[in-house]
Chains A and B, each alone.
Chain A
C-alpha cells in the first residue's frame, strides 16, 4: 500500500514534469490545453522518430557486415554499449534531481516509510526512463537484425526482449554511481557552476566530434571487427555476454542476468546504507562574509539587464541551453581561422566560380551562422524563469515592457558579437565584398532579433512559473520547444527558397527578401509584446 502510494506519487511527478509543466493552464473556459497536449505529443513523437531513424541507420550499416564475418554477438554488444551510453547520458542529471537532490527527500524521510521503499520508488521511475532511452537504440537494432534474417531468430528475439528489460537495470546501476560521483565532486568544488559548464562543454564537444567522425568510426569498426571483438571480450565482459545473449544463447542470457543482478544488488545495498546521508547532505560551501563597500549605482534599465545577465551566468543549465550557439560560434571562429589554409583550398571545389551562382557561398555561410544563432534560446525560458519571484518584477515601479526588453537585450548582447565574429571570419575566408558582405553581417543580427522576439512571445503565451527546479522551465518548457521550431522553420523556409528560387533570383535578392520578412514579423511581434505582452506579464501568477 505504502509502496503503491509512493510509486503513484513518483509517476504523477514524472508525468507532470513531462506533460503539464511545459504547458500553460487552459483559460477560464477550459480552452487551449487539449490542443497543446496534442501538439506536445506530436513533437515528442517527432523527436523519438528522429532518434529511431538515426539509430536504425547506424545499425543497418553495422549489422550486415558483422553478421557476414560471423560476429553477430559483436553487433549486439555494440548496440548494447550504445544504448547504455545513451541511457547514462540521458539520465545522469535526472538521477541527481530525482534521487539525491529531490525536494521531498526530507519530507519522505521524516515519515514512517522504510528508506528502501523511498529508494525503490525513485529508482523504479528512473528505471522506466532508462528503459525508454535504451529502447531508442535497441529496438531498431532488433528490427535490423530480424531484417538481416539470421539463424535462431525466435530465440534471438525472445532474448533481445528480455535484454531490453535487463539492460536498464545495468545502466541504472552505473548511472547511480556516476551521479553520486558527480554530486560528490561538485559539492566539494569552489567554482561549482564553472566546473559544470566546462564539463558539459567538453562533453558536448566530444559528442559533436564523435558525430562528425561517425563514418570514420563505423569504417574502423567494420575494418577491425576481429580486434574490437577481442577488446570487448576482455575489457567489457558484461557486454560480451550481452552480445552473445542477443544472438539467442541462453547460457549467455543467464550470465548477463547474473552480472546485472549482482551489480544492481550491490549498488542498491550501497545506496541503502548511505541514502539518508546522501539525500540530506548540504553543499560544502565556504561561507562568504560581507565587507561593506561603495555600491556602483546603475540606472533602472541597466539594473534590469544586470539582473538578467547574472541569472544567465549563475545558472549552468540556463547558460548551456540558452547560450550554446554563442559558445559554438566563438569556438567555430577560432577553428575556422586555425584551419583557414585547408579551407581556402577546399572552398573553390565547393563553390565554383560561376557568375550564375554569384553570392551563393555567402548565402550558405550566412545560413550556417543563422543556424548557430538558432541554438541560442535566452528569451524563450526567461519569463518562466522568473518563477515564484515574478512578484518582484511586477511590483517594481518600472514598466513591464522594460523588464521584457532587458531579456531581449541580453539575448542580443550574448548572440550578436559571437555571430558577427563568426560571420567576419567567414567573410574573410570567402573574401566577400560589397552588398553581400553587408548582408552577411546584417542577416544574422536581424535573425537574432527575430529569434529573441519569438522566444519572448512564445513564453508570454506559454509561461510556466510553477517549477521546483529551473531545469524544468528550461529543458521541458513548451515555449522553448515552440521557439526552436519556429526559428528553425524560418531557416527551413530560406533553404526551400534557395532550392527552388535560385534560378530566378540572385542570392543577394533572396537574402534581402529573407531580411525583409524577418523585419516585418519582428515589427509585429515587437508591437504585440509592447502592448498586449506587457499587460500579460504584469499580471502573470
Chain B
C-alpha cells in the first residue's frame, strides 16, 4: 500500500530524514514513534505529497508520489498534528466541501456524515462555525473529513491529541474497521500504550534514521514498547 524507499529530506544543511525505508501493507495498522523533532512529521508530509524530498521514492499502491501526486492524494486521507481548518466555514460546509472535491454523491455523503457525526457526537454541532469549535471538536471534524471519502490509506500525525476518551475509543474502532476492510493506516503517536495495543507493526525513528521496525512482537519482545523505546533512546 505505502512503500517508502531510501527517503532523504534536508533543510539546508540539516538532514531531517536520512535514508528511511518502510513498507506498509494492506490491512496493516502501522505506528510511527520517535521523540520530538525525530523526523516523523517530515516523513508523513512527504508521503502525502505536500513536502518535496531530494532522494528516495515513495509509492502508494505502486504510484509514485513524485510523479503522480494527484492519483496518490485521491487514495489517501491526511490528518495533520494540528486541526487547522477553515474557520470561515461551518462544520457541515467543510464536510460538503471535502465531499465535493472527492466526488461523493449526495445520498452517500449524507449517510456517511450522519454515521460519523453520530459516532463522534458532533452531528448537533455541524451547523456551527468552525471558529466556535473547541480544539477537540476541530480534531473530531478533521477525523470525520478524513474518513468521509473512504480512503485506502490513512496517514495521521498524532491523531489522538485533544480527543476525549469516548472519541478516542471510537477512533481506534474506526481505524481497525478500515484495516479490516483492506485499507492501511500509517500514524505517528507519542502515546506508546495506544501504539502497543493498537498497532500491527511499529517503526521507531531517531534523528531522521530508522532504528527499529517490525511487528509489535518483534519490536517489543517480552517487554513493553515503552521499555524498548527508552532503551533505544538511552543507547544513543
- Could you tell me which A residues sit within 8 Å of B by CB distance? 28, 285, 287-292, 294-300, 302-304, 306-307, 310-311, 314-315, 387-389, 391-392, 394-399, 538-539, 541
Contact = CB atoms under 8 A, between A and B. Distances in A.
Given A303-B97, A388-B82, A295 B106 contact: yes
Given A295-B106, A387-B84, A388-B84, A290 B50 contact: no
A306 B123 CA distance: 23
A306 B127 contact: no
Contacts of A541: 50-51
A296 B106 CA distance: 7
A541 B125 CA distance: 30
Interface stretch (B86-94, B179-187, B226-234): B86-94
Q: How many B residues touch the partner, as a band? A: 35 or more
Contact of B126 (A290, A300, A399): A290
B224 interface: no
A152 B227 CA distance: 84
Contact of B124 (A290, A295, A299): A290
B70 A398 contact: yes
Contact of A306 (B76, B91, B97): B97
Nearest to A30: B12
Interface centre among B84, B93, B100, B105 (most CB of A within 10 A): B100
Contact of B96 (A285, A295, A394): A295
A310 B88 contact: yes
The 9 closest A-B pairs by CB, nearest first: A303-B100, A388-B84, A397-B74, A290-B127, A397-B73, A314-B88, A290-B126, A288-B127, A394-B50
Contacts of A297: 99-100, 105-106
Nearest to B104: A297
Nearest to B91: A290
Contacts of B78: 391, 395
A212 to B, nearest CB: 35
B84 A391 contact: yes
B49 interface: yes
Q: What is the interface of chain A mostly: helix, strand, loop, or mixed?
A: loop
A535 B7 CA distance: 20
Contact of A287 (B12, B52, B128): B128
Nearest to A285: B132
Contacts of B191: none
Contacts of B125: 290
A535 to B, nearest CB: 9
Interface in B43-76: 48-52, 69-71, 73-74, 76
B108 to A, nearest CB: 10
Interface of B: 11-12, 48-52, 69-71, 73-74, 76, 78, 80, 82, 84-93, 96-103, 105-107, 109-110, 114, 123-128, 132
Contacts of A396: 73, 98, 101
A307 B86 contact: yes
Contacts of B93: 310
Nearest to B51: A539
Contacts of B97: 303, 306-307
Contact of B86 (A28, A288, A300, A311): A311
A492 to B, nearest CB: 35
A287 B132 CA distance: 9
Given A290-B123, A292-B110, 18 more contacts: A285-B132, A287-B128, A290-B91, A290-B128, A294-B110, A295-B96, A295-B109, A295-B110, A300-B100, A300-B103, A302-B100, A306-B97, A311-B88, A315-B88, A387-B84, A392-B86, A538-B49, A538-B69
Contacts of B87: 389
Contacts of B12: 28
A367 B1 CA distance: 58
Contacts of B11: 28
A312 B51 CA distance: 28
Contacts of B101: 300, 303-304, 396-398
B124 A298 contact: no
Contact of B92 (A290, A298, A389, A398): A290
Contacts of A315: 88
A108 B31 CA distance: 37
A463 to B, nearest CB: 15
Contacts of A388: 82, 84
A214 to B, nearest CB: 38
A404 to B, nearest CB: 15
A193 to B, nearest CB: 10
Contact of A392 (B49, B85, B88, B90): B85
A406 to B, nearest CB: 11
Given A287-B128, A295-B106, A302-B100, A399 B70 contact: yes
Nearest to B12: A28
Contacts of B106: 294-297
B144 to A, nearest CB: 13
B48 A395 contact: yes
A539 B99 contact: no
Contacts of A311: 86, 88
Contacts of A538: 49-50, 69
Contacts of A310: 88-89, 93
10 contacts: A292-B114, A295-B99, A298-B100, A302-B100, A311-B86, A315-B88, A388-B82, A392-B85, A395-B50, A538-B50
A389 B84 CA distance: 5
Nearest to B77: A395
